[in-house]
Structure 1
Amino acid sequence: MRQSRFLPLIIATALFMENTDSTVISTSLPMIAQSLGTDPIALKLALTSYLVSLAIFIPISGWMADKYGARTIFTTAIGVFMAGSLACAGANSLEWFVIARFVQGAGGAMMVPVGRLVLLRSVQRSEVVQALATLTIPALVGPIVGPPLGGFITTYFDWRWIFFINIPIGVLGIVLATIFVPNVREEDTPPLDFIGFVLSGFGFALLMLGFASGGRHLIPAEISTGCVVIGAICLVLYVFHARRTPYPVLQLRLLKIPTFRISVVGGFLFRVGIGAIPFLLPLMLQVGFGLSPLASGSLTFIAAVGALFMKTMAKRILERTGFRRLLIVNAFIGAGFVAANGFFTPETPHWLIMIVLLVGGCFRSLQFTSLNAIGYAEISNREMSYATSLSSALQQVSLSIGVAFGAFVLEVAASLDGNPVITAADFGPAFWAVAMVSALAGFVFIGLSPTAGAEMSGHRIVKEKPPSTGLGDGMSGR
């Protein structure tokens, strides 16, 4: 009883550390770029290297938790994340900073998915929506505190100090996990699909590196293109490999389940636009509008306040609308608020910017809560680790593509204007382009059944169904 009561709080500690770190860095990007002597747009590589690392290691996070125990992997991951944080603080070049962020990502890849997996396996299916919302409420304190805190430290001290914030939080997380998280493991864990891990890891890494390095940063355009081509080939080879192996590291057959497939595809498109915001918005406010890091962070934190507020209402809204209607309508609304960022100018009143960010944060939070829940509506506990790994890996890819695509459009807009540096006017096309990609998700969600996920949302009373996912009991061997 003691374990289950404290479990969401402990997992939220990891989420708090990861979310605080990402929002602090986003606010400090222009100052970090100045200190490292590089173009602010080049720091898309630092954001992307973290997401690349997540995409590589998340697929084996569920397997490692089953094999070695959830507590062992969870606490080790926090330690790796802390080590990466210290490496970031000591970085003196763009290359060093990119590598340090990759190490952080290796820790984050195990830390958050394993924690979420423990929670999903410990709650009733009808309680999943509320459990996920409760889990993310403490974690959302990070994005609220992160931007103004990062702005304050960067403005009045040194940006390197922002990475030391993770150390006391990480120590607390390790202590709490050691006491309260059960070291659960599976007795019949299948062997690791090493070939699949290599193919998917290289595929995701090269594909995302190729997209992120496009432009004039670090490597020539020919090598960026080569990375994209080779990465795509590796992923195609993985698809053929996964069909032949009994225990693939990424279980693609889960995509046969309608609710999971639609949540993954629609969520991928929606997250492309959302993934670009932490990169584009602080750059626009600081580089384009000339605000200090503290002033920028004092504006952007409000989006997390909206997200936190919406978590308390998600369950009640879903009871009234159901998943299908909410996901369709909210995809277009959320995309509209992404596009609204592109209409900001240096003369836009700060109170108006904060209102747009606040309301936009509400709708994005509602969409993510719904997506995270509907994806597991027809997933059995035996398949939960596979579903978590596949879904989480693709989420990171979509966020990385969002950063790369937003930066690409930003660079194109600047070059068309004939400006050697980016200006405030260049950010509008970037926001509008990523918003259009997010809006495409609304058309994907039309494919959901009107009663999809009704057992979770409480929108309609459904007859009890057998626990089978329709994929066969021998699919995963668990």
Structure 2
Amino acid sequence: MLVPLIVACALFMENLDSTIIATALPAIARSMNEDPLHLSMAVTSYLLSLAIFIPLSGWMADRYGARRVFRNAILIFVLGSIGCAASQSIGQLISARMLQGLGGAMMVPVGRLVLLREVDKANLVGAMSYLTIPALMAPILGPPLGGLIVTFASWRLIFLINVPIGALGWWLVSRYIREVREEHQPPLDLAGWMILGAGLAGVIFGFENLGKHVLSPGVAPAILLGGIALLVLYAWHAKHEHSPILKLSLMRVATFRVSVTGGSLFRIGVGAFSVLLPMMLQLGFGLSALQSGSITFASAVGGLLMKTIAQRLTRRFGFRDLLIRNTLICGCALVLCGWLRPSLPYALMIGFLVLTGFFRSLQFTCVNAMAFADIDEDDMSQATSFSSTAQQLALSIGVGIGVQVLNISMALRRDTALDDLDFTIAFLVMGLISLSSLLSFRRLAPNAGSSVSGHRLALANESPPTAAH
């Protein structure tokens, strides 16, 4: 399990950096004599860079080799981090964040591709369980860690902590991961990449700015609609392009299609959790960032516990039954989060979050592993790019919808401050969106993805029928 841990460490660095900066934005704004609202571009520019370059990652890995691209992605991310720490103006910070985004866009999907090529399908669930840890822990550790650093040290340190982590990751990749590349690589679909990148950037930028009042009224919705139109244009382009930058034909594979559609709906709902819960604890309950972090960290503990038994659960129940049951648990738990109140004992609250973290981590592990169960080796790089693009888009949409629901609820109450009711409604909406993924998961065959899950139904189907007497 050395390779999964190496990849997980790189992904943890990227995810932690993405969340930790939010806490430091006010301090960075004061240091640069800027309006904190303008500093939100430091977050948005990173997301835009991810949206533009993630679709390119699969082609790059096949053209130049997955290990080389992954290793250089870590280096680019670290250089971008150093640039962020050295920034003296908002323009310099945005430029450095876009360089970080280029590194992160290559690191996430190519890291997953490295894992898929190093681990056989029978052990994929166990390996994927390690990759859920960064996604769970980073949004939880980021805010309190950022608060500690900003309070007791310089905000520049939040970027410099990536240097030793990145240096270690670069050495481990060089030492333990073999190089794999495609011998015959088609030419780059430059037109498709430009259309798709612009469309994704428009959708993500539009959703990120809905309800934030940073842009002039109507600008964010117009950008969002423009992004959607470009994505529709790309779908037409992909049908007529021999080697598109992102193969939409992969959606014909049932397990991959359900992983993308059902997984995206689930992520839209859960994607807002990492934003809504800290906001509720700090703005609704009146807790400090450190107190909030000590409570939300419980979700990561649940995720860590999950990885020890994920493979046994998939073998026992199979992907279909496990995803259906787990979606019900996670969706209902998300709704219940909106009913948490300051009067509840902290021990009860922490215990609840440990359980929700466990089941949410299990869901991500199953969805991620099932996606590649029936994908041919030649299409692995395309599948990782497609999957990573869908995940990034779903998480951004989830955050945008969650914040927008809060704003609408607050406006309907004709108030300017968030109330417990606003968070109750927001968690209810996001929980219902997550529960809607059941429609996709129910379409799976009982033994779907059995080559990865090892479910016993697959063995029963492969056994010859007993002779009649």
Q: Tell me the TM-score normalized by structure 1.
A: 0.88
Q: How does 1:303-314 map to 2 (within 5 A)?
A: 303-314=299-310
Match of 1:174 in 2: 170
1:355/1:52 CA distance change after superposition, 3 Å: farther
Report the alpha carbon displacement of residue 63 of structure 1 after superposing the two structures with TM: 0.9
Aligned to 1:19: 15
Equivalence for 1:316: 312
Residue 126 of structure 1: aligned partner: 122
Q: Does 1:266 align with 2:258?
A: no
Compute the RMSD of aligned alpha carbons: 2.8
1:64 aligns to 2:57 (yes or no): no
Match of 2:364 in 1: 368
Q: Is the 1:211–1:401 contact (alpha carbons within 8 Å) kept by the matching residues of 2?
A: yes
Corresponding residue for residue 350 of structure 1: 346
Judged with a 3 Å threshold, the aligned counterparts in structure 2 of structure 1 residues 216 and 321 are, in CA distance, closer, same or farther, namely closer
Q: Match for 1:291: what amino acid?
A: L
Unaligned runs of 5+ residues in structure 1 are 467-478
Q: 434, 437, 448: which one pairs with 2:433?
A: 437
Task: Point out the more displaced range, 192-201 or 118-127.
Answer: 118-127
- Report whether the alignment pairs 1:391 with 2:387: yes
Cα deviation digits, residues 56-114 of structure 1 (max 9, x gap): 21111111011112232112211222233344446678787666544332211101211
SS in 2 for 1:301: helix
1:298 pairs with 2:294? yes
Residues 316, 456 of structure 2: 8 Å contact kept: no
Are the counterparts in 2 of residues 17 and 169 from structure 1 also a CA contact under 8 Å?
A: yes
SS of 1:121's equivalent in the other structure is: helix
Q: SS state of the match for residue 118, structure 2?
A: coil
Listed one character per residue, the Cα deviations across residues 392-432 of structure 1 (whole Å, up to 9, x for unaligned) are 10110000001111111111122222222334443222222
Q: 1:433 to 1:160 in 2, by over 3 A?
A: farther
Residue 382 (structure 2) pairs with residue 381 (structure 1): no
- The aligned residue for residue 217 of structure 1 is 213
1:30 and 1:283 in contact (8 A); partners too: no
| 2:324 equivalent in structure 1 | 328
Matched residue SS, 2:437: helix
Q: Mean Cα displacement is larger for which, 100-109 or 444-453? A: 100-109
Gaps of at least 5 residues in structure 2 are 463-469
State the 4+ residue runs in structure 1 displaced beyond 6 angstroms: 29-35, 42-45, 91-96, 138-141, 463-466
Report the equivalent of 1:81: 77
Distance between the aligned counterparts of 2:325 and 2:92, measured in 1? 43
- The percent of aligned pairs where both chains have the same amino acid is 49
**Corresponding residue number in structure 1 for 2:466:** none
Code of the residue aligned with 2:157 in structure 1: it is W
**Is 2:450–2:458's contact at 8 Å kept on the other side of the alignment?**
yes
In structure 1, the residue matched to 2:36 is 38
Structure 2 SS opposite 1:462: helix
Query: 1:139: how far off?
Result: 8.0
Q: 2:8, 2:130 within 8 Å by CA — same for their partners in 1?
A: no
CA distance in 2: counterparts of 1:28 and 1:355, whole angstroms: 29
Alignment-derived partner of residue 453 in structure 1 = 449
- Counterpart in 1 of 2:406? 410
CA distance in structure 1 between the partners assigned to 2:297 and 2:459 by the alignment: 43
Asked if the contact 2:19/2:142 (under 8 Å) is kept, the reply is: yes
**Distance in 2, Cα, partners of 1:414 & 1:166:** 38
Tell me the equivalent position of 2:182.
Answer: 186
Q: For residues 269 and 101 of structure 1, do their structure 2 counterparts lie closer, same or farther at Cα, with a shift above 3 Å needed?
A: farther
User: Distance in 2 between the 1:87 and 1:259 partners?
Assistant: 41
Residue 464 of structure 1 deviates from its aligned partner by: 12
Distance in 1 separating the partners of 2:27 and 2:41: 15
Question: Which of 190, 201, 204 lines up with 1:205 in the alignment?
Answer: 201
